[in-house]
């Protein structure tokens, strides 16, 4: 018979380092993402700087990177390496860790009334494998040849041929692949933990349809991760074999590089890599955004003092997005030499995903409608999420049509789209979650004034950075160009690039306000009550921060759905899910 | 006593007062008594091991789905595919693995009769280990015949699929070994045995699939 | 409130810059360009309207329903009828919007199999474009990777000893006659590149191991830049070449010039 509950650990190493407590693990993921995002932002500073002021001597750069930036001048190699690492770090180490591994780990068990994840030891293992993956990735900066230059998408054969195809494509690329393989394993273990916990560990009364939308979002995200990361792992293994074992999964014959015939590979298919990568890659981007949608739903409801508009539709929409997310990968390959018939099929399937996305947007608006809106920082970021999701999502409607994609593919139009959706909306989801849950996690309030300043600069800033990128795309500015000097048509967009770069610098600077607020509040923030936002879900019935076993000696019992705000006939404008004596209309 | 079966999932539609999550008939420590409006603290349900294992198997399935689709595409596109001659040892190994699925089922069936349980269980571990040794011999045979991973796309996939399967099976053998130790110290639970069997059968089924792929689509 | 105003301000600025075409596509010189550009404008119009409506609604809602003393929030879990309506409406709208584009795409890549196009081979490599013409005999000579040698001037590995290959022309730039269907046969020597000419509204990857056809017809003369649109290594940003669209006469003259060299 299993004693599933562990006694609280006492020594530092078991309490904070190798903890099996989901709350500690959640914070570990968040800290990892925090470090990663600042590295990623630093890389984007370098990227934007080089585009506008190429050839500038920066002595710091010269001393840190004597090979990549000799004399302090960024080389094309350096630029492409920074670009590759920026994408990889942001997508994996920030957007796939913080929302799911961070907030999901911390709050999924609590929001369903459990004392921990189904498999606490596995949870710890997942984090430390992720940490190892992160270290492996970063180590690519320090090896001979540096990080790979093949982009976060690592298309073969560029990524498969080794250093002969370019610098960084030797050991750097191997480390990149290894890092993602480790990350895949960690994600698979985490996903199975989330799924099992959600299905089996719900407290009495917590039916599926009483679960908060945050829980649904982590659940659907976990299913996506479970089914997608195996394919990435397979692709990575095959790529590594092509590179190190002389196989030819992705490398065709008859290649000539540097005027030398490549004789030890033949018969492979570069498109096969793309199929495998994007079969994973498309669900991956929904993994990045779904938790943010969950948080946004949550925060909008709390701060409008209103139930979610169309809870069931929201749940179905998340499943719709998730399931269809597996059927559309070909829209990344319209210009790759795919059959034009396949292109039409993928395009029609992709158009379908716009529908549940629209439903969610309508329902967010419906949640605000008729409410009593309070504008605390979490709510500002949730509202920002909705605005940015609209902006970014609509851009997708140009790219999902192969006809319009002919011009826009691999231009900055694509960069605009995915940044608005991932690099901003999803990030706003993380910010909303941070401001919302900080009091619960750390027992202190973040500074509201600083939160507002952070929001304003960031919201205006990200629009200033990424909206203009659509125009760059429409002029035909291709992606991943280390310099913009070779083409006459790029002359007309220099001013746009300057505007974007300056906006980027200001916006990134504002993130330090967030960092300062975060750190300062950890130690000096005003003490937080149990339920500072008057919210209904289970995390708000326990102390801030929660005790080791979350709910103490007895399991909570749930009597209502998660969004009972402004119930008529009630004194308070919210009903805790555990409030026993009230009757509510089940929806 | 009865054979073991996986606990059925419980939907917690009503406040639980008693036995939620316990379907094995084994005694459970209920912990604290309950007060009005709250529930006695329940242990983590054993269902979680089955759910977790099913999820794990889904993830592993996708790994091999990736390999399989690569296989099909690469074979379809290529003009240089030379079908691989499967060493006869492969068939012996396959029989061993299939037999081990039978033995682990027997173990489950005789769970309450300790001597029988021990016999069938150790037989399973032996057969599993034998499979791994046999696979190693197959790879050695191929290498000896000059068939390496890079020789031909057919051999590349043979090694990829069989090594990936063997890695997962090795994990299963280690788990079997650990559970054997638990069995010998009297601490093997029906759930552990049931979940282990699930994994083991999956590995057998997966091997069957790989064999069919190599033989019919080779 | 300031947030609503900010959202609206961003919406207005964005709309104005899009509608005002401050930065826009270059003029199309392609037979299929008009249809493509039209599809873009249709999409822009539809998404633009949605964009404006959604952002305006967001701003309006947070303004109208901001918390004030005495305000009460509605206890409303949703409305199934409205859900159904806007689900169906969205589906219909989006599919109607994308359908013409699918037709245009089919026209370019599936239906244009008629006629006698002028066939030209394009082989991308790190970091230049190689263009091959069949020469006066109208036949492409055989190529072999073993024959490729940049240093000996045989970038594409043409067997110049073969009778068909003797008169093949391999150049770093391209010229085509106006108003004649062209078929490019896209290939790559090393890694994936992508052949992109803005004004002709063409873009397609060059994939090693594959030969991918790309058909178009130029409708105006002029000189247009060729750019690489798939990350291919260090020199990706400078894989620049030109395509000259010439009158039929000038094209023939150009061909003669090139052959005589």
Asked if the model's pLDDT at residue C112 lies above 90, the reply is: no
A583 confidence band (pLDDT: 50, 70, 90): low
Q: Identify the pLDDT of residue C26.
A: 97
The mean per-residue pLDDT over the stretch A352-369 comes to 97
- CA–CA dist C236, C192 (Å, integer): 11
Chain A CB contacts of B81 below 8 Å: 267
pLDDT at position A581, please? 66
- Percentage of residues in chain C having pLDDT higher than 90: 91
- The pLDDT score that the predictor gives to residue B42 is 60
Residues in CB range of C128: below 8 A, 6 or more apart: C155, C172, C239, C241
Q: Is A16 on the interface with C (CB under 8 A)?
A: no
pLDDT the model gives residue C229: 98
Which of C71, C86, C149 has the CB atom closest to A372's CB atom? Answer: C71
**pLDDT (tens digit per residue) in C158-199:** 999 999 999 999 999 999 999 999 999 999 999 999 999 999
* Chain A residues close to C231, C-beta within 8 Å: 80, 149-151, 155, 158, 479-480
For B98-127, the pLDDT digits (tens) are: 999 999 999 999 999 999 999 999 999 999
Residue A571 binned pLDDT confidence (cut-offs 50, 70, 90): confident
Residues 6+ apart with CB under 8 A from C41: none
Residue B52 has its nearest CB partner, among A119, A234, A266, at A119
At A377, which helix (H) or strand (E)? helix A377-399
Pairing of strands C128-133, C169-171: antiparallel
In C, which residues are within 8 Å of A145 by CB distance?
A: none
pLDDT averaged over chain B?
84
Helix (H) or strand (E) holding C243, with range, is strand C241-246
Lowest mean pLDDT among A57-61, A488-492, C23-27: A57-61
What is the mean predicted confidence (pLDDT) over A220-242? 98
Instruction: Report how far residue C37's alpha carbon sits from residue A407's, in angstroms, rounded to the nearest whole number.
Output: 10
Specify the pLDDT at position B21. 38
* Residue B193 at interface with chain A, using a CB cutoff of 8 Å: no
Across the range B198-210, mean pLDDT stands at 98
In angstroms, rounded to a whole number, what is the distance separating the alpha carbons of residues B101 and B96?
9
* Residue range A193-217: mean pLDDT, rounded: 97
Q: Tens digit of pLDDT for each residue in A279-310?
A: 999 999 999 999 999 999 999 999 999 999 99
Please determine, for residue A144, whether its predicted confidence score (pLDDT) is greater than 80: yes
pLDDT classification of A67: cutoffs 50, 70, 90: confident
Better-scored residue on pLDDT, A4 or A395: A395
With contacts defined as CB-CB under 8 Å, which chain A residues touch C129? none
- Residue in chain B nearest A554 by alpha carbon: B41
Residues of chain A contacting residue B32, judged by C-beta atoms under 8 Å apart? 553-554
**Whole-number percent of chain A with pLDDT over 70:** 98
Residue A15 pLDDT > 90, yes or no? no
- To which residue do tokens 């904070």 refer? A16
A-C contacts (CB, under 8 Å): 335
pLDDT of residue A443 exceeding 70, the answer is yes
**B78-92 mean pLDDT:** 92
Residues of C in contact with A167 (CB under 8 A): 234
Q: What are the tokens at C103?
A: 């037709």
Alpha helices in chain C (DSSP H): 2-19, 33-64, 80-106, 248-260
- The per-residue pLDDT for B39 is 54
The contacts of residue A330 (CB under 8 Å, 6+ apart) are: A278, A338, A342, A343, A345, A346
Position B15 pLDDT exceeds 70: no
**pLDDT tens per residue, range C201-219:** 999 999 999 999 999 999 9
pLDDT reported for residue B14? 34
Q: Among residues of chain C, what percentage have pLDDT more than 70?
A: 99
Q: How far is CA A393 from the centre of its chain?
A: 16
Contact residues, C window 155-194, toward A, CB-based 8 Å cutoff: 157, 189-192, 194
Q: Show the domains of chain C with their CATH numbers.
A: 2-66+78-109 (no CATH), 118-260 (2.60.40.420)
Q: In this predicted structure, what is the pLDDT of residue B36?
A: 33
Decide if A482 and C237 are in contact by the 8 Å CB cutoff.
yes
The answer to whether B158 and B84 have CB atoms below 8 angstroms apart is yes
* CB contact B67 to A (< 8 Å): yes
- Which residues on chain A are in Cβ contact (under 8 Å) with C47? 394-395, 397-398
Distance between the two ends of chain C, CA-based, in angstroms?
A: 72
Question: Which of A254, A363, A372 is nearest residue C145 as measured by Cβ atoms?
Answer: A254
Burial per residue of A558-576, b for 16 or more beta-carbon CB atoms within 10 angstroms, e otherwise: bbbbbbbbbbeeeeebbbb
CA separation for the pair A371, A500 (Å, rounded): 36
List of chain A residues whose C-beta atoms are within 8 Å of the C-beta of residue B35: 554
Predicted-assembly ipTM surpassing the 0.85 threshold: yes
Give the DSSP per-residue string, C128-162.
Answer: EEEEEE-TTTT-PPPB-GGG-BTTTTBTT-B-TTS
Q: How do residues A416-427 score in pLDDT, each as one tens digit?
A: 999 999 989 999
Rounded mean pLDDT, B1-21: 40
Query: Is the pLDDT assigned to residue A549 strictly greater than 80?
Result: yes
Helix axes A213-244, A270-304, angle to 10 degrees: 160
| Interface check B212 vs A, CB under 8 A | no
Q: From the list A195, A207, A249, which residue is nearest B156 (CB)?
A: A249
Query: Per-residue pLDDT tens for B43-57?
Result: 678 899 999 999 999
Q: Of A129-133, A551-555, B59-63, C32-36, which gets the smallest average pLDDT?
A: A551-555
pLDDT band at A7 (very low <50, low <70, confident <90, very high): low
- pLDDT confidence of B11, banded at 50, 70, 90? very low
Whether residue C131 is predicted with pLDDT greater than 70 in this model: the reply is yes
Structure token digits, residue C161: 């000893």
Enumerate the residues of chain B whose CB falls inside 8 A of the CB of residue A338. none
Give the lowest-confidence range in B26-40, B132-146, C127-141: B26-40
Q: What is the pLDDT of residue A569?
A: 87
**A458-516, pLDDT tens digit by residue?**
999 999 999 999 999 999 999 999 999 999 999 999 999 999 999 999 999 999 999 99
Q: What is the pLDDT of residues A248-285, one digit of tens each?
A: 999 999 999 999 999 889 999 999 999 999 999 999 99
* Distance of alpha carbon A388 from alpha carbon A376, whole angstroms: 18
Nearest to B26 among A1, A191, A246 (CB): A1
A528 and A443 Cβ atoms separated by less than 8 Å: yes
Mean pLDDT of chain A: 95
Q: Cβ of B46 and A206 within 8 Å?
A: no
Angle at A381 between CA A379 and CA A386, to 5 degrees: 95
Put simply, the answer to whether A460 touches C10 (Cβ < 8 Å) is yes
Q: What is the pLDDT, as a whole number, of residue A181?
A: 98
Judged by a CB distance cut-off of 8 A, whether residue A380 touches chain C is yes
Q: What is the pLDDT of residue A169?
A: 93
From the list B51, B153, B189, the residue facing A195 with the nearest CB is B51
A209 touches chain B (CB under 8 A): no
Q: Which of residues 438-497 of A touch C (CB under 8 A)?
A: 456, 459-460, 463, 467-468, 470-472, 474-476, 478-484, 486-489, 492-493, 496
A429 vs C40: CA distance, rounded Å: 31
Q: Which residue has the tokens 């504002």?
A: A510
Cβ contact C77–A307 (<8 Å): yes
Q: Is A161 on the interface with C (CB under 8 A)?
A: yes
A64-73, A482-491, B196-205, C2-11: least confident range: A64-73
Apex CA A379: angle with CA A376 and CA A382, to 5°?
Answer: 155
Consecutive H or E run containing B55: helix B47-77
| Contact between A70 and A62 (Cβ < 8 Å) | yes
Q: Which of residues 73-102 of C touch A (CB under 8 A)?
A: 73-80, 82-83, 86-87, 90-91, 94-95, 97-98, 101-102
Predicted confidence (pLDDT) at residue C70 exceeds the cutoff of 90 = no
């Amino acid at each position: 018979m299993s004693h599933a509950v562990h006694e609280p650990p006492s020594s530092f190493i078991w309490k904070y380092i190798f903890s099996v407590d989901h709350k500690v693990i959640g914070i570990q993921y968040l800290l990892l993402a925090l470090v990663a995002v600042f590295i990623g932002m630093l890389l984007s500073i370098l990227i934007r700087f080089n585009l506008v002021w190429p050839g500038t001597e920066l002595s710091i750069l010269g001393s840190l990177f004597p090979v990549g930036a000799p004399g302090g001048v960024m080389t094309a190699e350096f630029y492409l390496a920074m670009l590759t690492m920026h994408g990889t770090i942001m997508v994996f180490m920030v957007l796939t860790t913080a929302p799911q591994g961070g907030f999901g780990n911390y709050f999924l068990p609590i929001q369903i009334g459990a004392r921990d994840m189904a498999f606490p030891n596995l949870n710890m293992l997942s984090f430390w494998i992720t940490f190892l993956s992160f270290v492996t990735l970063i180590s690519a900066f320090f090896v001979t040849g540096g990080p790979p230059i093949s982009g976060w998408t690592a298309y073969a054969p560029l990524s498969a041929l080794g250093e002969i195809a370019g610098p960084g494509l030797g050991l750097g690329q191997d480390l990149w692949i290894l890092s993602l393989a480790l990350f895949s394993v960690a994600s698979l273990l985490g996903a199975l933990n989330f799924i099992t916990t959600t299905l089996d560990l719900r407290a009495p009364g917590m039916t599926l349809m009483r679960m908060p939308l945050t829980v649904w979002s982590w659940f659907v995200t976990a299913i996506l991760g479970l089914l997608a990361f195996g394919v990435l792992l397979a692709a990575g293994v095959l790529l590594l074999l092509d590179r190190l074992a002389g196989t030819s999964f992705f490398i065709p014959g008859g290649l000539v590089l540097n005027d030398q015939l490549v004789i030890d590979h033949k018969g492979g298919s570069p498109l096969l890599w793309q199929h495998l990568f994007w079969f994973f890659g498309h669900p991956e981007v929904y993994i990045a955004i779904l938790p943010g949608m969950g948080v946004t739903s949550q925060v909008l409801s709390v701060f409008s003092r209103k139930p979610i508009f169309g809870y069931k539709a929201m749940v179905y929409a998340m499943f719709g997005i998730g399931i269809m997310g597996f059927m559309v990968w070909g829209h990344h390959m319209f210009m790759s030499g795919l059959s034009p018939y396949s292109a039409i099929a993928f395009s029609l399937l992709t158009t379908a995903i716009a529908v549940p996305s629209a439903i969610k947007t309508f329902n967010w608006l419906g949640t605000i409608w008729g409410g009593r809106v309070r504008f605390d920082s979490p709510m500002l970021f949730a509202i920002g999420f909705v605005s940015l999701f609209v902006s970014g999502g609509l851009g997708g409607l140009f790219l999902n049509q192969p006809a319009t994609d002919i011009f826009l593919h691999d231009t900055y139009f694509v960069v605009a789209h995915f940044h608005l959706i991932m690099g901003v909306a999803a990030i706003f989801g993380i910010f909303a979650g941070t401001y919302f849950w900080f009091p619960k996690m750390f027992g202190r309030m973040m500074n509201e004034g600083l939160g507002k300043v952070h929001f304003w600069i960031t919201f205006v800033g990200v629009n200033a950075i990424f909206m203009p990128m659509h125009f760059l795309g429409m002029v035909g500015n291709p992606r991943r160009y280390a310099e913009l000097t070779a083409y006459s048509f790029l002359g007309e967009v220099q001013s746009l690039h300057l505007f974007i770069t300056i906006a980027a610098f200001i916006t990134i600077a504002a993130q330090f306000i967030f960092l300062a607020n975060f750190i300062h509040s950890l130690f000096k923030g005003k003490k937080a009550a149990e339920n500072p936002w008057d919210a209904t879900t289970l995390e708000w019935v326990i102390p801030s921060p929660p005790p080791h076993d979350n709910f103490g000696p007895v399991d909570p019992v749930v009597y209502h759905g998660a969004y009972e705000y402004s119930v008529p006939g009630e004194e308070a404008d919210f009903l805790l899910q555990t409030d026993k004596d009230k009757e509510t209309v089940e929806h | 006593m009865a054979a073991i079966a996986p606990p059925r999932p419980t939907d917690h539609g009503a406040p639980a007062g008693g036995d939620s999550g316990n379907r094995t008939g084994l005694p459970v420590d209920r912990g604290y008594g309950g007060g009005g409006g709250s529930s006695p603290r329940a242990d983590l349900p054993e269902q979680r091991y089955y759910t977790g294992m099913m999820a794990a198997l889904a993830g592993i399935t996708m790994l091999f789905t990736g390999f399989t689709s690569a296989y099909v595409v690469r074979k379809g596109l290529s003009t240089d595919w030379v079908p691989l001659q499967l060493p006869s040892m492969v068939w012996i190994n396959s029989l061993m693995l299939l037999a081990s699925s039978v033995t682990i089922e027997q173990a489950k069936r005789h769970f309450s009769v300790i001597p029988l349980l021990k016999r069938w269980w150790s037989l399973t571990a032996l057969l599993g280990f034998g499979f791994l040794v046999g696979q190693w011999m197959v790879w050695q045979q191929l290498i000896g015949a000059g068939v390496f991973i890079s020789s031909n796309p057919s051999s590349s996939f043979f090694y990829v699929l069989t090594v990936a399967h063997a890695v997962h099976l090795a994990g299963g053998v280690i788990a079997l070994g650990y559970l054997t130790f638990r069995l010998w110290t009297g601490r093997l639970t029906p759930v552990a045995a049931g979940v282990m069997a699930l994994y083991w059968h999956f590995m057998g089924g997966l091997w069957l699939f790989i064999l069919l792929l190599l033989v019919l689509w080779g | 409130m300031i947030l609503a105003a900010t959202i609206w301000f961003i919406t207005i600025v964005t709309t104005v810059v899009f509608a005002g075409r401050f930065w826009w596509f270059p003029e199309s010189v392609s037979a299929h360009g008009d249809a493509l550009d039209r599809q873009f404008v249709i999409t822009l119009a539809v998404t633009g309207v949605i964009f404006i409506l959604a952002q305006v609604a967001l701003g309006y809602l947070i303004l109208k329903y901001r918390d004030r003393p005495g305000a009460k929030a509605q206890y409303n879990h949703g409305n199934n009828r409205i859900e159904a309506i806007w689900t169906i409406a969205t589906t219909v709208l989006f599919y109607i919007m994308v359908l013409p584009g699918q037709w245009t795409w089919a026209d370019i890549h599936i239906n244009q199999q008629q006629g006698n196009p002028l066939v030209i081979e394009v082989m991308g490599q790190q970091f230049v474009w190689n263009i091959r013409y069949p020469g006066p005999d109208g036949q492409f000579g055989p190529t072999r990777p073993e024959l490729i040698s940049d240093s000996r001037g045989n970038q594409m590995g043409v067997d110049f000893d073969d009778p068909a290959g003797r008169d093949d022309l391999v150049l770093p730039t391209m010229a085509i006659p106006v108003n004649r269907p062209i078929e490019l046969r896209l290939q790559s020597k090393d890694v994936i590149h992508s052949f992109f000419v803005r004004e002709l509204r063409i873009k397609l990857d060059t994939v090693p191991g594959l030969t991918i056809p790309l058909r178009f017809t130029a409708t105006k003369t002029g000189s247009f830049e060729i750019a690489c649109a798939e990350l291919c290594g260090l020199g990706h940003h400078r894989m620049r070449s030109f395509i000259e669209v010439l009158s039929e006469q000038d094209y023939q003259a150009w061909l003669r010039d090139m052959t005589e060299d």
